[in-house]
Structure 1
Amino acid sequence: MTTLAPFAPVAPPEPGLTPEEIVARAEALAATLVERQAETERRGFYAEDTHEAFARAGFYRILVPRRYGGYEFGPETFVKVSMALARGCPSTGWMYLFGAAHALVVGTLFDEATQAELFAGGDFICPATVAPAGSARPDGEGGWLLDGTWSYCSGAPYATHFIGHTLVARGEGEPPAPMLFIVPREQFERLDDWGAQLGLKGSGSHSIRIEGGRVPGNHTLGGHLSQMAVTEDLPGRRLHGPEYGGGPLSFMLLELGVLAVGMAKGALDAYEELMRSRTTAFFPIVPRTEDPDFQFRYGEATGMIAAAEAAVLHATQQWQDLCRKDAAAFTREEELRLATISREAVRLAWRAVEGQLFPTAGSSSVRAGERIERVWRDLSTLHSHAGNGVFLSSLANRELAQAHFGTGVR
């Protein structure tokens, strides 16, 4: 009889690194991203040296469990880092967040042996899509053979893994069922099909193609990520603690609010520079900082963005607090309630940019490539994300009410 050796935890590169230090690193790096926004858009993703700087800073290990060489700093630190990066460059923040966020999914849902395998590299960059695509057929050994193309895989250029969904056949007369799978980088090809969109041109949201991919059974989960129930004792909760037992749906949707706030803060930075450097267009000609109307616009936008930031940060704290309770506390209703907070944060950020900053910045400041113009485009494109434009705008409301009143079908 063979006895497996006990798992030996791996120390992260900087064992003494703190959450405060890694957030400060993000803020410092974000300042360098501002002047590289146009370059990032032309390329379609952030530069190799930026990627290397993120790796050195530890950004790709924030949500990786500590026993696998990660920092396990938790959602709040991850949110603050992502928000800072989006403030410096919306595309970079988007690409980073949706590449690094899914360490939380893997650390929550997969079993111990699978996690040890998937996190073996330390840095973990794993875009994920929720729209089922492609096809899967049994390989005869308990795994699957995959073929297909999955679109909008934000984070694909430097990905170490990819999470996707497909539909698999069930019994005769039954509809196919969703299946989640994860594959390593060598199993897929990144297509050169990103950058022609209105906004987020540099977000690395390329398509991923898999041809004849072989996925072992333990790298798959029956069901869809947005429907995973977390009211039972999940692997992550047992292995790492309560923050690896939270709802994937609510955290995915909170991420949209995080990015929207970061983008809006960048627009406010640009507006402040304009107020300090330019004068009014109508008499009396005075610096914009002295004009009551510009003062009003700046104050109005500041309040909206600050309220959106407070909402997202507190919702993240609520998410963590729910994790620390009994697993049964993280109900579908709670997931949807938290998600709707993110929706309102997006709305506040958009109202600040679209209603206050963009119209009064001046036509020369909203030319192609200017910072406020770019944020306007990027926030407009965020609204086309299915999570925000479809799910949060309508489906979430109905499903939340159904969960609360016990009516309808989940």
Structure 2
Amino acid sequence: MTTVQEQPVSTGGTPSVVLHAAEGLHDLIDGHGDENDRTGRIAEPVVEALYDIGAIGVFTPRELGGAEMTPRQAMDLFRTLSYADPSTGWVTMAMGLATGLAGAFFGENAARELFATPRLGIAGQGTRPGRAVPVPGGHRISGEWSFASGIKHCTHLHTAALDAETGQTRFFIVPVEQVTFIENWDVLGLRGTGSIDYTLEDCFVPIEYSYPSLSTEPVTGGDLYRIGIGNFASINHGGWVLGVGRRVLDELAAVVRAKAGRPGAQTDTVAFAEHFADAEVRLRAAKALLYEVWEEIEATLARGAEIPLRLHTLNRVALHNATFSVAGIAQFAYTSAGTDALRRGTMQRLFRDVHGGTQHVSSSPLVMQSAGRELAGLEEGKRWVHFSLK
């Protein structure tokens, strides 16, 4: 691997510095949560703060001024931000990933040029590819993409397209000004992410501004980038859902304390207490499994070894478990909180956001179906390609 010698413009810090700064943003982020939900975007003071503390650089290589956090450090960051506001945590992890991967897999000169962009942030979509026609010097890409979380706060788009000649899927980085927005984010939860659709039509992208979607050998940066983009899902969405799950239980506890002693309060029953304890255990168990799997993956990478198929599988299983454990906890909290959850407010928004998160492809039933076959020893010789075994 080579590294970029010239430090570009950046406000990145060490992982511990970024994490500490993120903890200090709780009141700011929490205070804009309802506004984000109503307006369909993250409030600008929050966006500025995320850039200022280096949160968008969570996965950006150190040589390019980023934090290049380990998987568990990144999950700590996403838990912290998502606890304050799920939409803010979601946008941060989506932009952090797209920005960081470009830094890792771009060539040295292109990376230096891209990361000299003031307040660089990359958003976009990578699961449904468009069309890329090879031309001298690069590709012309066209298509329509969905779920561009962070698109309203970025400088560039990360977008997948299929090379019309080779059949290879590549990620292309284009300036956001070249994109046509489709304002169609009318959804149940995660409204504040503003994850609208977008289109590109015959847009030229230099070959230096794209890289293969299955890249695992970074040009810049360390072992983190060897995990493959599919494994980043459990870092991002796992950290996100654990943070939201903790906030759900804390909000429910506050409701319970406020109602304690009222005549007929359902939450004064022994049945409620039992279910609350069960919810706490399920949340902690989901976190323990996810962090245990990532501890093992990090140790494997540190030895210079390849991640075995079983760990790839357990990683996806751990994310699915966390996602639907928290979905069950949110249902319990919604039911127990009564009309406090029915009316507009934090509990209602958390409930909606949790169920928005369950719809992500990384936690689909197909993932568990493939995982079950692998765990049973029925998929020898196959490998995970994003969220399916092939």
TM-score above 0.5, yes or no: yes
Q: Which residue of 2 aligns with 1:8?
A: 6
Of 249, 255, 259, 2:240 maps to 259
* Structure-2 change in CA distance of 1:108 and 1:8 (3 Å): closer
SS of 1:235's partner is: coil
1:308-347 map, 5 Å: 308-327=286-305, 329-347=306-324
CA apart distance, 1:8: 2.3
Q: Which residue of 1 aligns with 2:197?
A: 207
* Structure-2 change in CA distance of 1:246 and 1:117 (3 Å): farther
Note the residue ranges of structure 1 that are not aligned, 5 or more in a row: 1-5
Deviates more, 1:300-309 or 1:46-55: 300-309
CA apart distance, 1:390: 4.4
Are 1:276 and 2:251 matched, yes or no?
Answer: no
* Structure-2 change in CA distance of 1:10 and 1:167 (3 Å): closer
Of 347, 350, 353, 2:330 maps to 353
CA apart distance, 1:71: 2.6
CA RMSD after TM alignment: 2.8
TM-score (ref. length: structure 2) = 0.87
Aligned length: 382
Distance 1:208 1:22 in 2: 31
- Contact conserved, 2:124 with 2:151, CA < 8 A, in 1? no
Distance 1:383 1:253 in 2: 13
Of 152, 157, 173, 2:152 maps to 157
CA apart distance, 1:374: 1.7
SS of 2:171's partner is: strand
Q: Which residue of 1 aligns with 2:138?
A: 143
- Contact conserved, 1:62 with 1:71, CA < 8 A, in 2? yes
Distance 1:407 1:235 in 2: 24
* Structure-2 change in CA distance of 1:235 and 1:332 (3 Å): same
- Contact conserved, 1:45 with 1:95, CA < 8 A, in 2? no
Superposed CA deviations along residues 223-253 of structure 1, whole A, max 9, x for unmatched, are xx3xx264xxx134xx322223222211124
* Structure-2 change in CA distance of 1:45 and 1:306 (3 Å): same
1:182-201 map, 5 Å: 182-194=173-185, 196-201=186-191
Deviates more, 1:244-253 or 1:86-95: 244-253
- Contact conserved, 1:10 with 1:68, CA < 8 A, in 2? yes
* Structure-2 change in CA distance of 1:298 and 1:128 (3 Å): same
1:105-184 map, 5 Å: 105-121=101-117, 123-139=119-135, 141-170=136-165, 176-184=167-175
Identity of aligned residues (%): 24
* Structure-2 change in CA distance of 1:220 and 1:319 (3 Å): same
Distance 1:241 1:403 in 2: 33
Are 1:393 and 2:368 matched, yes or no?
Answer: yes
Distance 1:400 1:177 in 2: 29
CA apart distance, 1:11: 7.7
Is the strand fraction higher in 1 or 2? Answer: 2
Q: Which residue of 1 aligns with 2:40?
A: 44
- Contact conserved, 2:6 with 2:112, CA < 8 A, in 1? no
Task: Indicate the structure (1 or 2) with the bigger Cα radius of gyration.
Answer: 1
Distance 2:158 2:310 in 1: 25
Superposed CA deviations along residues 314-357 of structure 1, whole A, max 9, x for unmatched, are 33333322322325x12444323212111111122222222x32
